[in-house]
Amino acid sequence: MPNFREVQYYLSGLWLLIRMDARGFQYLDISDRGMLRSFWAILWSLPSIGIFWLRWQQAYLTAMPPETSTGLAFFLRLALVEAANWLIPPIFVGVLLLAFRFGDKFAPIVVTANWLFVPANYLNALLVAMTVFIPGSKELAALLSLALTMAIIFSLARILRMICGTHPLFVGTLTLMLLIPNLLLTDFLQRFLGVYPPG
């Protein structure tokens, strides 16, 4: 598992790529081994994911009858949803890259996307905590969440441009394929697994 210094190093590389500085690639391991190691980003994101899960549990119990309880099974189902969100979009991206003969771009895209989602998850968790601990902050949190979403889209698109070159339509498609399936999968799987608050 990459240590804290390594993660800092990777994030520094991402920042350079967002700034359209190709030196950022020197900070990242974009080999096949580096791609597999980038999935340690899931464990690095676990504290932030846990905050969201606890907030989701609270929302679920609030919407359910008073006698409703949740246990380990509830969080295991949320873990399945989370796993799908990390694994399914790269598969879609891989298929698209193979179709357009950009297979060599798969590892760099997975590496950069995985590590980019680490700070994104923590910022999202901060917004969730904000709604819990600061009364009346839901509207501000929603506005900041929108701004964060736009920043993630902007950052990811710039990174993908550094990897794939100046192909606006292709870069745009890849960006959407890394982000949109998460939204659709989350909603579908939460409902299918019975962890979606009714109403």
Domain of 176 in residue numbering reads as 4-192
Residue at 164 is within a domain: yes
pLDDT reading at 119 higher than 90? yes
* pLDDT of the residue at 126: 94
Residue at 199 is within a domain: no
Residue at 198 is within a domain: no
Other CB atoms closer than 10 Å to residue 190's CB: what's the count?
Answer: 18
* pLDDT of the residue at 197: 81
Of 115, 147, 91, 113, which Cα lies nearest the Cα of 40?
A: 115
This prediction has a pTM of: 0.92
Length in residues, the chain: 199
Tally of structural domains, the chain = 1
Helix axis angle for 138-164 and 106-133, nearest 10°, is: 170
pLDDT reading at 148 higher than 90? yes
Residue at 125 is within a domain: yes
Residue at 197 is within a domain: no
* pLDDT of the residue at 199: 59
